[in-house]
Each structure stands twice: as structure tokens, then as C-alpha cells.
């Protein structure tokens, strides 16, 4: 395909199809008891993760005073953490696709627990 034709057709192929999305309430009602429990656990874990992120971000100055570190050091730690989340997601996502979800998850939790204990 020539570059000119590609550029002309690119924007029209990016348009989403005219499919009406399903009602999320109806989809949630289709879940059985175990699926509902998994959904709720994941939702609450995501909520606590967001709470953790924002509580740390909003208290950078106090955290710096407590640990005798500058605000720059604390924000650098937050930045590195957020940048490495993508790396972990890619690595453990590929491992999950290749080896199944159980063992990459167990290794991830063990790695996380080890880092928590060491820090």
C-alpha cells in the first residue's frame, strides 16, 4: 500500500463501528455468584489502590518530614513507581499469556511481598 493512500484511508478506518454498547447493569446481572464475588474483590482492590495513590500524593510534604527526605525525593519515588508499573504489567502479562495466570501471579505477589519487607 502506498503511503498516500494509507494516510487518506487511515482516519476513516479509525472510526469505531456504529455498535450500541450493552447496558452494564444487564451484563452485571448475568454474572453468577462466584463471578460477582470476583468482580467485587477486583473493584474494591482497585478502589483501595486509588485511595493509596491519592493519600500518598496529597501528603508528600508530611511524608518527607517523617522520613527526613525532600519533596523531590518523595516525588521521584512516586514517578519511578508509576513508570515501573507499565514494565511489570508487560512482563507479567506476557508471562500470564505464556504460562497461565496462576504462577506469574504467585511470583508477582512473592516479589511484591519481598520488596515490602526489604523496604
Q: What is the DSSP letter of 56?
A: H
Enter the pTM of the model: 0.57
Q: Which residue from 81, 85, 57, 50 is spatially nearest to 71, judged by alpha carbons?
A: 57
Among 16-20, 30-34, 59-63, 88-92, whose mean pLDDT is lowest?
16-20
CA–CA dist 72, 69 (Å, integer): 8
82-to-8, 75, 76, 103 alpha-carbon distances in Å: 37, 11, 10, 24
Is 74 exposed, middle or buried (CB count within 10 Å of its CB: 0-12, 13-18, 19+)? buried
Mean pLDDT of 52-72: 93
Kindly report the average pLDDT of the chain as a whole number: 88
Position with higher pLDDT, 18 vs 117: 117
CA–CA dist 57, 70 (Å, integer): 14
Q: pLDDT grade, residue 1 (50/70/90)?
A: low
Residue-wise pLDDT tens digits, 74-109: 999 999 988 998 998 999 999 999 999 999 999 989
User: Looking at residue 13, what is its pLDDT?
Assistant: 65
**Which stretch of DSSP H or E encloses residue 58?**
helix 33-58
Q: If you compute the radius of gyration of the chain from its CA atoms, what whole number of angstroms results? A: 21
Distance of CA 74 to the CA centre of its chain: 21
Q: pLDDT grade, residue 15 (50/70/90)?
A: low
CB 28 within 8 A of CB 38: no
User: Looking at residue 112, what is its pLDDT?
Assistant: 85
Q: What percent of the chain has pLDDT over 90?
A: 57
User: Looking at residue 41, what is its pLDDT?
Assistant: 95
Amino acid at each position: 500500500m502506498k503511503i498516500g493512500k494509507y494516510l487518506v484511508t487511515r482516519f476513516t478506518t479509525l472510526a469505531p463501528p456504529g455498535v450500541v454498547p450493552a447496558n452494564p447493569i444487564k451484563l452485571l446481572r448475568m454474572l453468577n455468584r462466584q463471578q460477582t464475588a470476583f468482580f467485587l474483590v477486583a473493584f474494591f482492590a482497585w478502589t483501595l489502590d486509588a485511595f493509596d495513590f491519592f493519600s500518598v500524593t496529597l501528603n508528600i510534604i508530611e511524608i518527607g518530614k517523617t522520613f527526613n527526605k525532600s519533596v523531590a525525593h518523595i516525588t521521584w519515588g512516586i514517578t519511578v513507581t508509576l513508570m515501573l508499573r507499565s514494565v511489570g504489567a508487560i512482563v507479567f502479562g506476557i508471562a500470564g499469556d505464556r504460562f497461565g495466570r496462576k504462577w506469574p501471579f504467585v511470583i508477582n505477589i512473592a516479589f511484591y511481598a519481598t520488596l515490602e519487607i526489604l523496604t
